[in-house]
Structure 1
Amino acid sequence: MFKKKSLSVLIFISFFMLLVACGGNDDQSTATNDNPTDAGEEGSTDPVTYHYFIGASGSDIHTNETEIGGMLEDETGVNFQMEYLVGDLMEKLGVMVAGGQYPDVVVPDHGIDMMLDADAFIPLNDLLEEHGQNILAMYDDYLDRFTMPDGNIYYIPFGPTINEFVPNPNIDQGAFWIQRGVLKEYDFPEINTLEEYFDVIKRYADENPQIDGMNTVPFTGLTYDTSFFTFSNVPNHLAGFPNDGGVMVDLDTHEASVYADSEYAKRYLQALNELNDGGYLDQEMFVMNTDDYLAKLSSGRVLGFFDYGWQFGQARVAIEDLGDPEKEYMALPVVLDESITDQYIDPPSFTQNRGVGITVSAENPERIIQYWDRLIQEDMQKLVMWGEEERHYSVDEDGRYYRTDEQVELAGDQDERRDVGMTVFEWNWPRLNGSFNDGNAVESRRQPEVASATYDEEDRVYLDAYGIQTFSELFSQPQDRPWYPAWSANIEQGSDVALFSERSEELTKRHYPRIVLANPTDFEDEWATFEEAYRNLDVDVYEEFFTNTVRERINGNWQFR
Structure 2
Amino acid sequence: MRSYLRIFSFVLLAILLSIVSACENSKKEVTKNSDGTGPITLTVFDSDTNPDWEDMESPVGKKIKKDTGVTLDPEFDIEGGRTKIPLMVASGEYPDMILPKSEASTLVDAGALIDLAPLIEEHAPNIKKMLGDDLNRLKWSKDDPSIYILSNSAVDEDRANPNFGVLVQHAVVKELGYPEMKTLEDVENVIREYKKLHPEINGQPTIGLTLQSDDWRFQSATLNSGFMMTGGGDDGEYFVDPETLEATLHYRRPAEKEVFRWYNHMNGEGLLDPESFVQKNDQWLSKLSTGRALATVAPDWMIYEAQAALRDAGMEERMYGMYPITLSEEDKHQAFRSNGFQVGWGIGITVDCEDPVRAIKFLDYLVKEETQIMLNWGIEGEHYEIVDGKRVIPEEVLERRNNDKNFLKETGIGFNFTRYAPRYGDGALDSTGQTFTTSTLEQQIANQTEIEKEVLKNYGVETWKDLYPSKDELPESPWGAAYNLQIPAGSILEVNNKKMMDIVFKRVPEAILAKPEKFDEVWDQFMKDLDKTGVKESEKEFTRIVKDTVELWNN
Structure 1 counterpart of 2:509, from 494, 508, 513: 513
Which residue does the alignment assign to 1:178? 168
Mapping for residues 339-378 of structure 1, pairs under 5 Å: 339-378=330-369
Which residue does the alignment assign to 1:466? 459
1:369 is aligned with what amino acid?
Answer: I
- Residue 530 of structure 2 is aligned to residue 534 of structure 1: yes
Q: How far did residue 394 of structure 1 move? A: 4.7
RMSD of aligned Cα (Å):
2.7
Q: How far did residue 356 of structure 1 move? A: 0.7
Mapping for residues 94-133 of structure 1, pairs under 5 Å: 94-133=86-125
- Residue 477 of structure 2 is aligned to residue 482 of structure 1: yes
Work out the CA distance in 2 between the residues paired with 1:215 and 1:506: 33
1:215 is aligned with what amino acid?
Answer: P
Which residue does the alignment assign to 2:259? 268
Kept in 2, the 8 Å contact 1:482–1:554? The answer is no
Q: How far did residue 461 of structure 1 move? A: 0.9
- The superposition leaves residues 375-396 of structure 1 with CA deviations (integer Å, 9 ceiling, x where unpaired) of 2110010000122345434556
1:422 is aligned with what amino acid?
Answer: I
Work out the CA distance in 2 between the residues paired with 1:327 and 1:169: 22
1:368 is aligned with what amino acid?
Answer: A
Q: Percent identity?
A: 28
Work out the CA distance in 2 between the residues paired with 1:318 and 1:104: 39
Work out the CA distance in 2 between the residues paired with 1:118 and 1:259: 32
Work out the CA distance in 2 between the residues paired with 1:147 and 1:503: 29
Which residue does the alignment assign to 2:22? none
Compare 356-365 and 35-44 and name the one that shifted more: 35-44
Work out the CA distance in 2 between the residues paired with 1:259 and 1:551: 18
Work out the CA distance in 2 between the residues paired with 1:418 and 1:146: 31
Which residue does the alignment assign to 1:443? 437
Q: How far did residue 552 of structure 1 move? A: 5.3
Kept in 2, the 8 Å contact 1:402–1:450? The answer is no
Q: How far did residue 192 of structure 1 move? A: 0.3
Compare 432-441 and 325-334 and name the one that shifted more: 432-441
Which residue does the alignment assign to 1:196? 186
Q: How far did residue 326 of structure 1 move? A: 0.8
Q: How far did residue 168 of structure 1 move? A: 2.3
Q: How far did residue 236 of structure 1 move? A: 0.7
Compare 324-333 and 485-494 and name the one that shifted more: 485-494
Mapping for residues 264-343 of structure 1, pairs under 5 Å: 264-343=255-334
- The superposition leaves residues 463-514 of structure 1 with CA deviations (integer Å, 9 ceiling, x where unpaired) of 2111111111011113012323233222223334334322221221111111
Q: How far did residue 325 of structure 1 move? A: 0.7
- The superposition leaves residues 134-166 of structure 1 with CA deviations (integer Å, 9 ceiling, x where unpaired) of 2233222222222234342222101352xxx45
Which residue does the alignment assign to 1:243? 234
2:149 is aligned with what amino acid?
Answer: Y
Which residue does the alignment assign to 1:453? 446
Which residue does the alignment assign to 1:78? 70
Work out the CA distance in 2 between the residues paired with 1:327 and 1:320: 9
Which residue does the alignment assign to 2:148? 154
Which residue does the alignment assign to 1:52? 44
1:235 is aligned with what amino acid?
Answer: G
Q: How far did residue 334 of structure 1 move? A: 0.4
- The superposition leaves residues 536-561 of structure 1 with CA deviations (integer Å, 9 ceiling, x where unpaired) of 443433444454555555556369xx
Kept in 2, the 8 Å contact 1:178–1:303? The answer is yes
**Normalised TM-score (structure 1):** 0.85
Kept in 1, the 8 Å contact 2:366–2:418? The answer is no
Work out the CA distance in 1 between the residues paired with 2:532 and 2:256: 18
Work out the CA distance in 2 between the residues paired with 1:317 and 1:511: 34
Kept in 2, the 8 Å contact 1:158–1:355? The answer is yes
Compare 88-97 and 265-274 and name the one that shifted more: 88-97
Distance 1:152 1:58, change over 3 A: same
Give the secondary-structure state (helix, strand or coil) at the position aligned to 1:436.
coil
Q: How far did residue 253 of structure 1 move? A: 4.3
Work out the CA distance in 1 between the residues paired with 2:267 and 2:401: 42
Work out the CA distance in 2 between the residues paired with 1:209 and 1:83: 47
- Residue 493 of structure 2 is aligned to residue 502 of structure 1: no
Kept in 1, the 8 Å contact 2:45–2:76? The answer is yes
**Normalised TM-score (structure 2):** 0.86
Kept in 1, the 8 Å contact 2:263–2:512? The answer is yes
Distance 1:298 1:119, change over 3 A: farther
Work out the CA distance in 1 between the residues paired with 2:30 and 2:541: 49
Kept in 1, the 8 Å contact 2:52–2:408? The answer is no
2:48 is aligned with what amino acid?
Answer: A
Work out the CA distance in 2 between the residues paired with 1:456 and 1:88: 36
Kept in 1, the 8 Å contact 2:54–2:409? The answer is no
Q: How far did residue 400 of structure 1 move? A: 4.9
- The superposition leaves residues 84-105 of structure 1 with CA deviations (integer Å, 9 ceiling, x where unpaired) of 2235631222332222233322
Which residue does the alignment assign to 1:387? 378
Work out the CA distance in 2 between the residues paired with 1:50 and 1:141: 29
Distance 1:212 1:365, change over 3 A: same
Larger radius of gyration: 2
- Residue 195 of structure 2 is aligned to residue 208 of structure 1: no
- Residue 408 of structure 2 is aligned to residue 417 of structure 1: yes
1:341 is aligned with what amino acid?
Answer: K
Distance 1:509 1:98, change over 3 A: same
Give the secondary-structure state (helix, strand or coil) at the position aligned to 2:326.
coil
Work out the CA distance in 2 between the residues paired with 1:266 and 1:151: 40
Which residue does the alignment assign to 1:522? 518
Which residue does the alignment assign to 1:11? none
Give the secondary-structure state (helix, strand or coil) at the position aligned to 2:187.
helix
Give the secondary-structure state (helix, strand or coil) at the position aligned to 2:114.
coil
Q: How far did residue 534 of structure 1 move? A: 2.1
Distance 1:62 1:41, change over 3 A: farther
Distance 1:94 1:166, change over 3 A: closer
Kept in 2, the 8 Å contact 1:332–1:474? The answer is yes
Kept in 2, the 8 Å contact 1:218–1:304? The answer is yes
Distance 1:319 1:359, change over 3 A: farther
Which residue does the alignment assign to 2:177? 187
Q: What residue ranges of structure 1 are gaps of 5+ in the alignment?
A: 1-34
Q: How far did residue 404 of structure 1 move? A: 5.0
- Residue 214 of structure 2 is aligned to residue 219 of structure 1: no
